[in-house]
Amino acid sequence: MQKFSAPIQLTKDITLGDEHLVLLAGPCAIEGLDICLKIANSVKEMTSKLGISYVFKASFDKANRTSSSSFRSIGFEEAMRILEEVKKQVGVPLITDVHESHQVDAVAEVVDVLQIPAFLCRQTDLLVAAGKSGKGVNIKRGQFMAPEDMQYAVAKIRNTDNENVCLTERGVSFGYHNLVVDMRSLPVMRQFSPVIFDVTHSVQQPGGAGGTSGGQREFAPYLARAAAAAGVDGFFIETHPDPANALSDGPNMIPLNELAEFLKMIGEIWQLGNAYS
């Protein structure tokens, strides 16, 4: 199956879709400066040793939490300040989600890549605003979307004269608090743009913990190895030094102290899979 026509410039210094592996990683939500710095510094050190390009990820607002009583945000201005500080102190590019088109301009002043959440991948105004920002745009495939239909989301970005768009696979939902990853979706979507595999959201159990989302992180290595072998251009992994006490998505995050070995494992398989994809 034919791949996308050309790599994209995900950030100023990172190309996605060539012979180099890219990682988007960080905590699910911005909890505070110290923990963001700890994660960013740790992952930067790991990826530097492994030859992986790294973009720090953290969400400034969890707008789609199962329950309104769950943690959402420390506040927009404080979250942006923390992201700026991470970029300044650690020297890594940034990616974060945008949920509404009016957020795009302010967020684009701080981060290098805008991410469109899976539930919002059909929202034309949001996609167009993200495309017009001139930043790289990562669109997560909706849990309800056929992989071949993601070409239309890609086209909405490219119609703004922004070619720097990629897609992320994160599983499909059949209800009953479960997600299923169909590995056929990877080569299908890779026809339209470079593709990232979201390791940790693929093992999430939405709403599966009685008003909050559960997760089965024990299956993350299996799905990551399968995606690496199938052929992808990067990985999205949420990580935390203490997942049990994380404010969002703890059950599916990879513990920070296990991440280096995890990356080494999938990197070795990715080298082989990339040669045949």
Rounded Cα distance between 18 and 8, Å, is: 9
Rounded Cα distance between 182 and 201, Å, is: 14
CB–CB of 113/11 below 8 Å?
A: yes
pLDDT at 71 (0 to 100):
66
pLDDT at 194 (0 to 100):
98
pLDDT at 213 (0 to 100):
66
pLDDT at 274 (0 to 100):
82
Q: Which two tokens stand for residue 173?
A: 């939902």
pLDDT at 189 (0 to 100):
98
Where would I find the H helices in 67-206? 76-90, 104-108, 124-132, 150-158, 185-189
Is 152 exposed, middle or buried (CB count within 10 Å of its CB: 0-12, 13-18, 19+)? middle
pLDDT at 248 (0 to 100):
84
CATH tag, 8-276: 3.20.20.70
pLDDT at 38 (0 to 100):
98
pTM as predicted = 0.94
pLDDT at 207 (0 to 100):
66
Strands 179-180 and 214-215: unpaired
pLDDT at 10 (0 to 100):
98
* Per-residue burial over 180-217, b = 16 or more CB atoms within 10 Å of its CB, e = otherwise: ebebebbbbbbbbbbbbbbbbbbbbbbbbeeebbbbbb
Q: Which two tokens stand for residue 224?
A: 């990551």
pLDDT at 22 (0 to 100):
98
Write the CB contacts of 101 (distance below 8 Å, at least 6 apart in sequence). Answer: 125, 126, 128, 129
Domain ranges of the chain: 8-276
Rounded Cα distance between 136 and 9, Å, is: 7
pLDDT along the chain (277 residues), means of 10: 94 96 97 97 98 97 66 88 98 97 98 97 98 98 96 98 98 85 97 98 76 80 97 97 90 96 97 83
pLDDT at 69 (0 to 100):
59
